[in-house]
Amino acid sequence: MLTIQPLVALIAGILILVVPRLLNYIVAIYLIIVGILGLAPQLGAM
């Protein structure tokens, strides 16, 4: 079974090589998604 994180990392790496300006956006979106997924169980318990 292919996990999603290595696939996302591969796609992000390729995009950063092609368009280096995307680095800031890719990192920001990744951090937001990880933060939301990390907080989701705690927010659901409230």
List phi, psi (to 5°) of 5.
-65, -45
Each residue of 9-38: pLDDT tens digit?
888 888 888 888 888 888 888 889 888 888
Question: Given this model, what pLDDT does residue 2 score?
Answer: 67
Closest listed residue to residue 34, CA positions, set 14, 9, 13: 9
**pTM of this prediction exceeds 0.75:** no
Sequence-separated (6 or more) residues with CB below 8 Å from residue 22: 15, 16
Residue 46: pLDDT band by 50, 70, 90 thresholds? low
